[in-house]
């Protein structure tokens, strides 16, 4: 077999394996989001990850992949819709001329899992109060919005790509966009019942399972080794063999710095080493290093990660202080850190690494020039304006026409039983023979001889207020 064919085979194996790692991040989101929300919504929140990835996969195959990576103009791909087997098996040919190192089908698999991650971010700030139908309906809309900006930044014919914007694996494309859509949804939905008192102060609504949140974070950290290193799209990058290994290193040490920074910041600001803030620090650092992982030196990766830990803590508190209910911290972790990571790339990009990736120039620290930082800021402004306006507009229409928020009774009872007719933890809510809260004699309300009453269904402590939407 010719060496060129061997290289393509190796590239394809690597990209498919990386795509599988990124898809596994859906499991991480399921654990993280379910763990940081209440028991009565656990099945609903975890299960929607399957639904939205399914919707995203179909829409992306039909039109999203063509919009993002099909041949077209600098604004949008205009070919490659409903691709045939011949088109997906081709390498470096129309309508997917961009993929020159792997078959287009492998490119689809790798890119669709990224779209799925961005869509998963959206629901973090909308958790516990959005109607089920909103997930697939807005999922279709957001997948199209995401595909357009992907074309701008990642397709070689895109206008921001042409200006040299550096977003190696998607701090802007994936995380910033997902957070902007999440912010739009949170604003239109309003806060959960009881989240803010009449004086405007926030009431804590703790998640029901911190070990789930920890497990979800570890899975996401693990999956990120497909997210960032896989974005090389091959085993040779520029004139460097195995460049993805270097990207994996910068990714890992940034996440580690984020964990330490998040815990230290929480200890200093909250006077307690809050575990959830440590987890947010990890994720914020991973978000920030996503743009920079192929462009920066290890010391800069540590700086980026450490600062992200502080952003995670201060950002979550700031979002809450201005009256936005974001149960998962998506706006701060994915939005604010996405902005930081995109700008940090323009500050710390090593000229030799930018040259190796043939994208943009060196950053401010090395060149003394604000050019690359300006390009990064331009990308943030344009992507931000386009994404937020289109997401807010589409959700506003849905709210006005159909309503996007569940009724007060539904929210109080929990989305598991109200939307699905089932419980994520049935033994805590309904009698199960031999289960929690039952006796061997068949009496309900007492556990097996310990004299403690079975727990009542969880309801908000605050007086329910009319739910908007």
> What digits encode the pLDDT tens for the residues 406-448?
999 999 999 999 999 888 988 777 766 665 555 544 443 333 3
> What digits encode the pLDDT tens for the residues 63-80?
999 999 999 999 999 999
- Residue 60: its pLDDT value, please? 98
- Residue 462: its pLDDT value, please? 39
DSSP 171: I
- Residue 133: its pLDDT value, please? 96
Q: Is the dihedral of CA 350, 68, 31, 223 positive or negative?
A: negative
Q: What is the dihedral of CA 257, 208, 128, 419, to 10 degrees?
A: 140
**Mean pLDDT score, 83-112:** 97
Contact 51, 29 (CB under 8 A): no
- Residue 461: its pLDDT value, please? 40
- Residue 438: its pLDDT value, please? 54
Beta-sheet strands, E only, within 156-264: 236-237, 240-241
74, 143, 295, 346 from 157: Cα distances, Å: 5, 20, 21, 21
**Mean pLDDT score, 464-468:** 39
pLDDT at position 328 over 80 = yes
Helix (H), strand (E) at residue 141:
helix 134-154
**Mean pLDDT score, 225-239:** 96
- Residue 157: its pLDDT value, please? 96
- Residue 437: its pLDDT value, please? 56
Percentage of the chain lying above the pLDDT 70 cut = 92
> What digits encode the pLDDT tens for the residues 22-37?
999 999 999 999 999 9
- Residue 428: its pLDDT value, please? 77
Range with the poorest average pLDDT among 112-121, 302-311, 378-387, 439-448 = 439-448
Range with the poorest average pLDDT among 191-200, 258-267, 436-445 = 436-445
Contact 458, 393 (CB under 8 A): no
> What digits encode the pLDDT tens for the residues 130-168?
999 999 999 999 999 999 999 999 999 999 999 999 999
- Residue 465: its pLDDT value, please? 39
pLDDT at position 459 over 90 = no
């Amino acid at each position: 077999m010719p060496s060129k064919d061997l290289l393509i085979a190796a590239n394809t194996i690597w990209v498919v394996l990386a795509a599988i790692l990124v898809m596994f991040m859906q499991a991480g989101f399921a654990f993280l989001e379910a763990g940081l929300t209440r028991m009565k919504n656990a099945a609903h929140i975890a299960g929607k990850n399957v639904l939205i990835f399914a919707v995203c996969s179909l829409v992306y195959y039909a039109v999203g992949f063509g919009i993002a990576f099909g041949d077209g103009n600098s604004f949008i791909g205009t070919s490659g819709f409903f691709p045939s087997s011949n088109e997906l098996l081709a390498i470096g040919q129309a309508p997917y001329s961009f993929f020159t190192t792997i078959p287009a089908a492998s490119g689809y698999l790798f890119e669709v899992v990224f779209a799925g991650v961005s869509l998963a971010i959206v629901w973090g700030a909308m958790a516990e109060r959005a109607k089920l139908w909103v997930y697939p309906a807005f999922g279709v809309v957001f997948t199209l919005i995401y595909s357009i900006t992907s074309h701008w930044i990642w397709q070689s014919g895109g206008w921001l790509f042409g200006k040299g914007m550096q977003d190696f694996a998607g701090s802007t494309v994936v995380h910033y966009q997902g957070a902007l859509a999440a912010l739009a949804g949170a604003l239109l939905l309003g806060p959960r019942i009881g989240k803010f008192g009449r004086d405007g102060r926030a009431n804590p609504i703790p998640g029901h399972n911190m070990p789930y949140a920890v497990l979800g974070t570890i899975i996401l950290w693990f999956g990120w080794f497909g997210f960032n290193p896989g974005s090389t799209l091959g085993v040779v990058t520029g004139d460097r063999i195995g460049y993805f290994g270097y990207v994996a290193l910068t990714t890992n040490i940034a996440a580690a710095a984020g964990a330490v920074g998040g815990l230290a910041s929480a200890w200093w600001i909250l006077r307690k080493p809050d575990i959830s803030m440590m987890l947010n620090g990890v994720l914020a650092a991973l978000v920030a290093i996503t743009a920079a992982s192929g462009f920066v030196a290890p010391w800069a990766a540590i700086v980026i990660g450490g600062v992200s830990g502080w952003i995670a803590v201060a950002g979550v508190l700031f979002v809450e202080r201005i009256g936005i209910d974001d149960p998962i911290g998506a706006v701060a972790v994915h939005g604010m850190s996405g902005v930081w990571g995109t700008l940090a790339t323009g500050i710390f990009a090593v000229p030799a690494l930018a040259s190796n990736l043939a994208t943009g120039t060196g950053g401010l620290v090395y060149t003394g020039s604000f050019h690359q930082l300006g390009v990064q800021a331009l990308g943030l402004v344009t992507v931000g304006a386009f994404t937020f306006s289109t997401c807010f507009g589409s959700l506003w229409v849905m709210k006005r026409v159909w309503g996007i928020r569940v009724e007060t009774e539904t929210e109080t009872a929990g989305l598991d039983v109200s939307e699905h007719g089932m419980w994520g933890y049935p033994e805590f809510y309904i009698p199960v023979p031999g289960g929690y809260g039952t006796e061997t004699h068949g009496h309900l309300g007492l556990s097996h001889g310990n004299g403690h009453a079975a727990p009542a269904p969880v309801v908000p402590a605050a007086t329910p207020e009319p739910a908007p939407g």
